[in-house]
Structure 1
Amino acid sequence: MLAGVSLGSLAWARLNLSAVEIERGARVDSLQVGQIFEETLTLNNKSIFPKLWVEVRDRSNLPGHRTSCVMSLTSHQRKSWRVRTVCRQRGVYKLGPVVMVTGDPFGLFRFWRRKPQQHEVLVYPPLLDLGAFGLPSTELSGGAQVRSRSFNLTPNAVGIREYIAGDPYNRIHWPASARQQRLMVKEFELDPTSDLWIVLDMEMAVQFGNPVAVPQIPKPHDGEKPNPRASQDYIGDTLGQPVYLPPSTEEYSVAIAASLAGRLLADKRAVGLIAWGQHHEVINVDRGSRQLLRILRTLAPLRATGRSPVEEVIAAESVRFARGSTVIVVTSNVDDKWARSLGALTQRGIKASAVIVEPATFVKPNEHQPPSSMLVVGTLAAANVPSYLVKHGAPINVALAQGLGGVKVIR
C-alpha cells in the first residue's frame, strides 16, 4: 500500500507541473529612480487537470521587486497578478529567470521547471527639477539663445554703445568712434554654441556612505499623513514626486550630473560627459533629447570603481576643452589638487565651476571622518572658480541654487 501511495504521489506531482506556463509583461523597460515599475505576470493551466498548488519563484534582481507567490489553478484557468515597485536604485537589472515548483499533497515529491528567459530593465538616475539653478555669470562665454549682453568676447556682436571707464580697449569700435567723435565700444550676445563639459569624479578612494542602503522614507504615524520631504534621504522632486537616495556620495554625484545635463540640454546647450569609473566614459558634446538619453544610459550602470584622481582626469581630457567652453566638475574629493588644476584651465580661456558633494555629511559619528571641504572651497575661490556645496540631508536643487562666494547667478 505504501508503494501505491508513493507511486500515486509521484504521478500527481509530475502531472501537477505539466502544461503550466507563465508569462510576464511590463509597460516600460526603462525609467528613472523614483518612478514606479509595473509588471503583470500570468500563470496559465493549459490542461484539463486542476493544479492543487504551484509556487512561482522569481529570480529577478530589481531591488524590492517581489513577484513570487503560490496559487492553485482549475482546469484551463488563467490567473494574473500585478506587481508595482518603486525604483530606488539606478542600474541595469534582470527580470527572470522564473522557477515553477509543485509537489504532491503529502509532501513526498517535488518537481520544478525553470523558464530561462530574461528581460532587461534600465533604471536611470533621477532628473531633478532644478528650477532655481543657474550658472554663475562669470562662468559663461556662451549660453542660451537669448538677447542678453556678455562681458566676454563672442562671435556675436549685436551693437555699439558709448565707452565706459573700465571697458577693454579691444572692444573699441574705431570707425564708429571717429564718426561719433567719442569713444564707442562693441557689445556682444552670449554665444549659444559654446561647449559645456560635465566631469564626474568616479574615483573609488574619495567615495563615502553606502550606495546600496535602503533610503529612509517617511511613514504614517498615529494616523497622521507623513511629510514626504521630511526624510534625511530626500534629495528633491522629479515630475512632482519626491525622490530619495541612499546616503552615498557616489549616488548623489551621479544624480547631480544627470540633473545638470537634463537642465542644460533643455536650455539648448551643447553638453558632454566625462566619467572614469569601471570604464573611461566620454560622451562628446551634442544637443537634444538623444544626447540626454546617451548620458542617462551611460550613468545608469556607472560605478565608482575608478583609480584615477579627478585632477588626472582633467589633465588627460583637457585637450577636449576648447577656448571659451565651460567645465563643471562634480566630485566628493576635498584635496585641493584638482581645484588648482581647474583654476589652471581658466588661464586658457576656459570657464569652470565645481559641485562639491561634502563627504563629511555622509559618514556616521563613529566612523572615520574625512577632511573638511573648506580648503578646496577656498582654493576655488582664490582662482575665481564658482562652487556649490551639496550636503546629505539638504535637497540638491536648493544647494545648486546657492553658489558659494557671492557669485552672481544667471537664471
Structure 2
Amino acid sequence: MLMNYTSIMDPNPELTRHFRLKNLFLPIVVIGLIIQQYFAPHRAWEVLLAAFGGAFLLSAVWAFALYRGLSFKREMRHGWAQVGDKFSEMFTISNHSRFTAFAVELIDHSNFPGYKSSVAWPVRGNFDKLWYMDNMCTTRGLYNVGPTEIRTSDPFGIFEITVHSAFKKQILVTPPIVSLLEIEIASGEWHGNSGAQSRVFDRTVTAAGVREYVSGDSLFSVHWLTSARREDFYVRTFDQHPSSDWWVFLDMDRYMQVGEGLETTDEYATVLAASIADRGLKENRAVGLVGEGSKPVWLPPKTGSGQRSEIMYALAMVDRGDTSLKSLLAKAQRFMERKSSAIVVTASVDPEWLGALTALKQRGITTTVLFLAPENFGGMQSSTPILNQLNSWGIRNFVITKNIYAWPDFQEIFPNQWTALSPAAVLDRGALP
C-alpha cells in the first residue's frame, strides 16, 4: 500500500533534454570503411560497413526514442522534519518508448548533509521504475531537495541522453522535541488588582473554553466560529489566573560552547529551547524566543501555532555568534513586562551574565536557568561557582547533561547513514499506455 507523497517537482515541470554523441569510435570506423570501400572496393568492406553502419543507425534510433520517451518524478512525504526523523522520498522513472534503457542513472544535486540518493536502474520499454529512499535527518537547518537529472545511453554507449529538472524544494529540519516534565519553570506571580497588573492581565489572558451567550456578556468575547457552527451565540471563557509570558533566552556565544559533532552545548541548547517553547505553547502560554548568532533572533511572546512555526524555524537556522549572554539579557529586559518568566538556556561560565539576572529580579521578572554544565560535554571549566551563586540568590536552576536527549546511533540504524531500501522496495510498474 503506497503512502501519500507530495511531488517536489514543478506542477508543470520544465524538463531540459540533451542528446549528444558520447563515443566517437563507431562513427570513425564507419567513415573509415566508407573511405576504404571508395578507394579499394572489396566484399569484406561492404560486410563490415553494413555491420558497423547498422549498429550506428540502431544506436541513433534507440537513443532518440529514449530522448523523447524518458521522464521522471520525485516526491516526498513532508516539507519539514525534526532531527532524528526519517526523511522519505519516492522516485519514479518512466520510459514511454518501446526500447529498454539498460542503465538509467539518477543524479541528485540536493545539499542535504550526507544525503546520497543517486542510483542507477534498468527501465524496460513502456514501464516505469518506482523506488523509495528512507533516510534519517541528522542536522537541523534549511536544505534544498533537487535539482535532479537522469542520464542514460543506447546499448552501444554511442549517444548520451540527459533529462534535467532545475526545480528544487526546501525542507526544514528543526530540533527534536523531548519531554522535560522534570523541569519546573518558575512562573510570575499575580497579586492584587492594580492598573498596571490589569494591563498585563488583559494581554496575556488565555481562553479556557466556550459557553452559551447570556445577557450582559461583552460582544468582544463572542467566539464567532463556534457561534456560526452551532447557529447560536457562544462566548469564550477565560482562566481566572492568567499565565505569565515565557521569554526563552538562547545563548549562542561561540566562545562559551564546548563539545564535538552533534554533542555540543549549542545543539543541546536548541533542543531545550524547542522543547520548552513547545511545552509552553501547548499550555496556551505566550512564548517568545531571544538569541543571537550570525543573525539576531527576536520573537516577542505570542500564542498559537503560528508562533510555534516561527520559533521552530528560528531554532533550525540559528548558529553561533559573538554576542554574550550578558548583552543579550541587557538588550531584552526593557521590553519585558513585570511578572514575566525568563528561561535562560546557557553553557556560559562567565560570571558577568549573573548581574543581568539581578536586574531582571529587581524588575519582578522570575528566572529559571537551564545550565549545560561544560564539564558534562568535555569542557575543562567548572560550573560550580555559577551554580553556587544561582542557589545563593534563590534562582531556580537545572543542570543539563547529555542524558537529557539520547542521540541515535545512526550507524546501527542505517549503515552509511543514507542508504536505499532493499531491492524489494524497487518496483516495476506498467505497462504504460
TM-score between the two structures when normalised by the length of structure 2: 0.67
Matched, 1:114 2:173: no
| Aligned with residue 322 of structure 1, among 333, 337, 342 | 337
After superposition, residues 24-103 of structure 1 pair within 5 angstroms as 24-103=74-153
Post-superposition CA distance 1:184-217 (Å, at most 9, x none): xxxxx9942422100101122222223xx4xxxx
Match of 2:283 in 1: 267
Does the 8 Å contact 1:155/1:191 carry over to 2?
Answer: no
More helix by share: 2
Aligned to 1:341: 356
The 2-side partners of 1:206 and 1:275 are apart by 14
Deviation at 1:354, TM superposition (A): 0.9
Matched, 1:385 2:405: no
Would the aligned equivalents of 1:334 and 1:373 in 2 still touch at CA under 8 Å? Answer: yes
Report if aligned partners of 1:154, 1:190 keep a CA contact under 8 Å in 2: no
- Residue 265 of structure 2 is matched in structure 1 by 249
**Whole-angstrom CA distance in 2 between matches of 1:14 and 1:203:** 58
| CA spacing shift, 1:375–1:17, aligned 2, 3 Å | farther
Residues in 2 aligned to 1:346 and 1:206: alpha-carbon distance in whole angstroms: 24
| C-alpha spacing 1:303/1:154, structure 2 compared with 1 (3 Å) | farther
Q: Partners of 2:259 and 2:64 in 1: how far apart?
A: 50
Larger Rg: 2
Counterpart of 1:153 in structure 2: which amino acid? H
Select 2:188's aligned residue among 117, 124, 141: 141
Which secondary structure does the structure 2 equivalent of 1:290 belong to?
Answer: helix
Q: Deviations over 1:150-181 (max 9, x none)?
A: xx62549xxxxxxxxxxxxxxxxxxxxxxxxx
Matches within 5 A, 1:261-340: 261-304=277-320, 306-340=321-355
Alignment of 1:5-20 (within 5 A): 7=56, 11=60, 15-20=65-70
Shift in alpha-carbon separation, 1:353–1:109, aligned structure 2, 3 A? same
- Judged with a 3 Å threshold, the aligned counterparts in structure 2 of structure 1 residues 396 and 339 are, in CA distance, closer, same or farther, namely farther
What fraction of aligned residue pairs are identical, expressed as a percent? Answer: 30
1:126-137 mapped onto 2 (5 Å cutoff):
126-135=176-185
Whether the 8 Å CA contact 1:249–1:362 is kept in 2: the answer is yes
1:373 counterpart = 2:383: yes
Conservation of the 8 A alpha-carbon contact between 2:65 and 2:97: no
Cα distance in structure 1, aligned partners of 2:375 and 2:240: 38
2-structure distance, mates of 1:269, 1:112: 54
More displaced 10-residue stretch of structure 1: 28-37 or 13-22: 13-22
Q: Which amino acid in structure 2 is aligned with residue 209 of structure 1?
A: G
Give the TM-score normalised by structure 1. 0.70
Work out whether residues 340 and 380 of structure 1, in 8 Å CA contact, stay in contact via their aligned partners in 2.
Answer: no
Structure 1: distance between partners of 2:362 and 2:103? 73
**Is there any run of 5+ residues in structure 1 with no aligned partner, and where?**
143-151, 157-188, 214-245, 364-368, 398-411
8 Å CA contact 1:311, 1:337 repeated in 2: yes
After TM superposition, give the deviation of residue 313 of structure 1 in Å: 0.8
Alignment coverage as a number of residue pairs? 312
Offset at residue 66 of structure 1 (A): 3.5
Asked if the contact 1:56/1:101 (under 8 Å) is kept, the reply is yes
- Whether the aligned pair in 2 keeps the contact of 1:340 and 1:379 (CA below 8 Å) is no
